[in-house]
């Protein structure tokens, strides 16, 4: 009698397990996201989260992945590497995600990619741009955006063809992103014959840049190249204006110089500031203008390259999920490796070159703030407005 009961229980257990497996196979496909949703980098995290959700809704309404919806499990890394690592561990071990995306700051992104590689779950980086991230030989890590060393490609041609400067001062946030970008731009200037008069690092969140700016002003550089997040970027420009510091041009290395909050916080000091950029709503990629307009309609404000990166990521992930032989991390990794897709952010195909592995390669652009609007000014074939150069001095504006 007891044996029959055990057999009955075993049969019931197997039936329940079968039901569970069937339900899991029919339920949503879980994809993890790690972004800074609180803290100093929250504005970047917000624009990327919004863009992911916008793309997610479009994909799921169109039938999802072979009839199954994607579910995004979004974790806040607060801009801190240790929090990011814990978030990824949770997504992998507790939530059983088959893939990960996101990654804003380079310091956090590097930390979470190391965990993803160790746990063998594919991670598609949306933003974290330190060259180091795709130079580790990691085969579970992919990046949709160019590395920070390639941000100034359009700027370099603008400098050589238009400005023809002799000297530069490089200012950068003393983080993995800032250090990597400053080092790469320093090397590029040396190759181009531009003398680097000073290279100044600073701690994020400083409230007084004037001592550093006074030193830089005394060096009399032709232009200033800055790698900063949004609040530091705005403060650097406000205090440069207060000091009547007038190089030929100020140029941002992307990051904080392209967000709407930069113009809002810098005020009049934002006018005519140039920045490296990775995307524009005027680019001739399918879905680019629609993404820009749909974002404004849904979230009440404009988007920019950080959002476009994330929007591209969700479409790349969905494409890989559709092509994967199985919905397992290994199979999704293999599908990502063979990606060849056009997105609203641009073409995506992961290649290896130099020390880089599984890195997407894209052109970059130069933008300029004009009357409170970020205009694409270089190359000329994608310009929305002509560039303003020479830039008028503060006293004559």
Phi and psi at residue 108, to the nearest 5°: -70, -45
On whether the CB atoms of residues 206 and 147 are closer than 8 A, the answer is: no
Rounded Cα gap, residues 133 and 92, in angstroms: 20
Does the pLDDT of residue 289 top 60, yes or no?
Answer: yes
Nearest Cα residue to 252 out of 241, 237, 264: 237
**Whole-prediction pTM:** 0.87
CB contact burial 197-212 (16+ within 10 A = b; e otherwise) = bbbbebebeeeebeeb
Q: What is the mean pLDDT of residues 332-336?
A: 98
Does the pLDDT of residue 26 top 80, yes or no?
Answer: no
* CATH, domain range 150-277+365-396: 3.40.50.2300
pLDDT at 255: 84
Rounded Cα gap, residues 54 and 299, in angstroms: 10
Phi and psi at residue 390, to the nearest 5°: -65, 150
DSSP string, 132-147: GGGSS--SSEEESSPP
Q: What is the mean pLDDT of residues 308-337?
A: 98
Each residue's pLDDT tens digit, 188-227:
999 999 999 999 999 987 889 999 999 999 999 999 999 9
Domains 29-146+284-360 and 150-277+365-396 fall in the same CATH topology: yes
How many residues are listed for the chain in this entry?
397
Q: What is the mean pLDDT of residues 235-263?
A: 95
Give the CA-trace dihedral at 117, 123, 129, 133, to 10 degrees.
10
Does the pLDDT of residue 238 top 90, yes or no?
Answer: yes
CB atoms within 10 A of CB 192: 12
On whether the CB atoms of residues 33 and 49 are closer than 8 A, the answer is: yes
Class of domain 29-146+284-360: alpha beta
Rounded Cα gap, residues 27 and 154, in angstroms: 45
* pLDDT grade for 25, boundaries at 50, 70 and 90: low
State the sign of the Cα–Cα–Cα–Cα dihedral 22, 23, 28, 29.
negative
* DSSP SS3 for 362: coil
Q: Would you list the domain boundaries of the chain?
A: 29-146+284-360, 150-277+365-396
Each residue's pLDDT tens digit, 108-139:
999 999 999 999 999 999 999 999 999 999 99
């Amino acid at each position: 009698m007891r044996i029959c009961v055990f057999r009955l229980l075993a049969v019931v257990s197997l039936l329940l397990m079968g039901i569970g497996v069937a339900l899991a196979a029919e339920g949503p496909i879980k994809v993890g996201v790690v972004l800074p949703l609180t803290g100093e980098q929250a504005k970047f995290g917000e624009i990327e989260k919004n863009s992911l959700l916008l793309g997610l809704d479009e994909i799921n309404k169109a039938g999802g992945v072979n009839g199954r919806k994607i579910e995004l499990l979004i974790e806040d890394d607060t801009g801190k590497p240790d929090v990011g690592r814990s978030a990824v561990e949770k997504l992998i071990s507790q939530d059983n995600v088959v893939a990960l995306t996101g990654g804003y700051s380079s310091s956090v992104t590097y930390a979470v990619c190391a965990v993803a590689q160790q746990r063998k779950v594919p991670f598609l980086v949306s933003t974290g741009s330190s060259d180091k991230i795709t130079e580790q030989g990691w085969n579970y890590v992919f990046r949709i955006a160019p590395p920070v060393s390639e941000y100034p490609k359009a700027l370099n041609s603008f400098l050589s063809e238009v400005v023809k400067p002799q000297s530069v001062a490089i200012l950068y946030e003393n983080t993995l992103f800032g250090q990597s970008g400053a080092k790469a731009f320093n090397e590029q200037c040396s190759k181009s014959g531009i003398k680097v008069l000073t290279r100044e690092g600073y701690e994020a969140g400083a409230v007084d840049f004037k001592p550093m700016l006074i030193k830089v002003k005394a060096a009399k550089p032709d232009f200033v190249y800055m790698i900063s997040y949004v609040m530091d970027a705005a403060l650097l420009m406000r205090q440069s204006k207060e000091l009547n510091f007038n190089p030929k041009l100020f140029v941002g290395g992307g990051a904080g110089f392209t967000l709407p909050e930069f113009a809002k916080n810098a005020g009049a000091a934002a006018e005519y500031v140039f920045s490296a950029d990775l995307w524009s709503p005027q680019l001739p990629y399918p879905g680019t203008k629609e993404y820009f307009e749909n974002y404004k309609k849904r979230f009440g404000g404009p988007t920019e390259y950080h959002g476009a990166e994330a929007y591209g990521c969700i479409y790349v992930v969905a494409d890989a999920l559709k092509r994967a032989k199985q919905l397992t991390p290994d199979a999704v990794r293999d599908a990502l490796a063979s990606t060849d897709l056009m997105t609203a952010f641009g073409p995506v195909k992961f290649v290896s070159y130099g020390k880089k592995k599984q890195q997407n390669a894209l052109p970059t652009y130069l933008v300029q703030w004009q009357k409170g609007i970020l205009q694409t000014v270089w190359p000329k074939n994608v310009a929305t407005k002509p560039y303003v150069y020479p830039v008028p001095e503060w006293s004559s504006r």
